[in-house]
Amino acid sequence: MNDTPRRYTLAILAHVLLVAAWYLFVEIGKVPKYVMPSPQATLGALFSGNYPWWDNIYVTCVEIFGGYILAVLVGVGLALSFSWSRIWEDAMMPLLVSLNMIPKVALGPLIIVWFSYGMFPNMLISFSIGVFPIVLTTARGLREVEPELLDLVRSLRGSKWQVFSKIQLPGALPYIFSGMKVAAVLAVAGAIVGEFLGSEKGLGYLMLQVQVTLDTAAMFMAVILITLIGVLLYGLVLLLEHLLVVRDARVN
């Protein structure tokens, strides 16, 4: 039985209850608006015309999606190269672990010094945070292939490409998407960290600007918009996973 409608209904209900609790907390508790604005005040900040919301949304979207796509391409590419050469993997994987230990907040100022301000440095920060989980999970998925299947294909004189395309890659897809989902969350954090460290546009930059005037409603709205961008990215990954993994599994 398909329980998808029930799951979506429960998810929507949980979000509605959260907004209702937020509203009741502010209204019943008489919380000052500079501490926590009401939901209607937060939504009103989006349409007040005081800030260039859409320009900043565009910049943040480009940084997040650009950094994420780059992380997926590089991460999967590196993992594939590891599956073709064990020596290469033994040499590079410890190096990647060491590089991943570098605090990205500390790396951010250096990236800004090297590439100045703008969207590209923030994309690089987003990429640097999101790439490692993709490399790790994809490499693991490519390794954990049933030996019997490999022996069968090789006994039939299958080429290396056939072994990879018919056995290794399909078997690794769940692992790849597991890393992609983790990276989707990290890519959002990376782009906003970059905007906090140094930027001229973006929702993170806007949050720093409105902090000076204590426009808490605008700050809340920026946080909500960042969250929605992250949810959109995560949802697209889930959709792609459903098309390539879940649906194929049901067909088979």
Which residue from 229, 197, 243, 246 is spatially nearest to 68, judged by alpha carbons? 229
Measured CA to CA in angstroms, residue 170 lies from 5, 39, 145, 151 at distances of 28, 45, 10, 16
| C-alpha–C-alpha distance, residues 77 and 130, integer Å | 14
Query: Tokens 């790439």, residue?
Result: 131
Structural domain boundaries of the chain?
50-251
Tokens of 154: 């090789």
pLDDT computed for residue 116 by the predictor:
76
pLDDT tens digits, one per residue of 164-212: 767 777 778 889 999 999 999 999 998 998 888 878 889 999 998 888 8
CATH code of the domain made up of 50-251: 1.10.3720.10
Which residue from 22, 14, 13 is spatially nearest to 223, judged by alpha carbons? 22
Phi and psi at residue 20, to the nearest 5°: -65, -45
Confidence of residue 106 (pLDDT cuts 50, 70, 90): confident
pLDDT tens digits, one per residue of 115-161: 777 788 889 889 989 999 999 999 888 887 766 666 666 666 666 66
Query: Tokens 């050469």, residue?
Result: 85
| C-alpha–C-alpha distance, residues 27 and 29, integer Å | 6
Single pTM value for the model: 0.85
Which residue from 36, 54, 19 is spatially nearest to 215, judged by alpha carbons? 36
